[in-house]
Structure 1
């Protein structure tokens, strides 16, 4: 068996869909004998994990499976291995950096980062 990282993409649709397009890109770890089997498994996960619910406004919110557009084989599983990389080209570099710093600070203050000495 070999390990793969698959990108599974969903479109998030709220109500009639009269809003800015929103997509959820998920990276999934897949164990398979080859790339074709890994893609098939990731595709099946995408189909099985589509779901819908009613929000507080009683509008239908759907996670609609789009496809598996990317699949990478991993040479090995080891501490610190790069699973995925994507180059961002934001319109405002300072805002992008500030957002990343804010997200990191929020992670550091969450309960699971607390160390009991």
Structure 2
């Protein structure tokens, strides 16, 4: 058996869908014999994950599975191994860097709270 990373894409629709289109890209860990089986297994997971729930104004929000867009074989696990990468272009580099640093600070604080048992 091999481990794969699969990217599943869902469309998020709130109410009648009269809003800016939104998509949820999820990275899933898949165990399969080969890439073909990993692809089919990822598709089955996506098809089984159609979600519907109420959102603001009592409208219904749903996640509609689109398809699997990427599969990556995970070779021998190693500390620090790259498992995902994305290159982004941002109009405001300083704003993006501040956003990354703010998110990192929040992750660190959450980890410290968990480690120390404080809320």
- TM-score if structure 1 supplies the norm length? 0.91
Cross-structure match for 1:95:
95
- The equivalent residue for 1:73 is 73
Output the CA distance in 1 between the equivalents of 2:23 and 2:56.
21
Corresponding residue for residue 56 of structure 1:
56
**Bigger fraction of residues in helix:** 2
Alpha-carbon distance, 1:77 to partner: 2.0
Cα displacement (A) at 1:66: 0.8
The structural deviation recorded for 1:113 is 2.9
**CA-atom RMSD in angstroms:** 1.3
* DSSP 3-state at the match of 1:57: helix
Give 5+ residue unaligned stretches, structure 2: none
Q: How far is the alpha carbon of 1:69 from its aligned partner?
A: 0.5
Q: Contact (CA 8 Å) 1:3, 1:76: kept in 2 or not?
A: no
Aligned to 1:43, the other structure's residue is in SS state helix
The offset of 1:81, in angstroms, is 1.7
Comparing 42-51 with 12-21, greater Cα deviation is found at 12-21
Match of 2:19 in 1: 19
How many residue pairs end up in the alignment?
A: 115
Match of 1:113 in 2: 112
TM-score (norm 2): 0.89
Residue by residue over 1:28-64, the C-alpha shift from the partner in whole angstroms, topping out at 9 and shown as x without a partner, is 1111100000000111111111101111311010111
Moved more, 39-48 or 86-95: 86-95
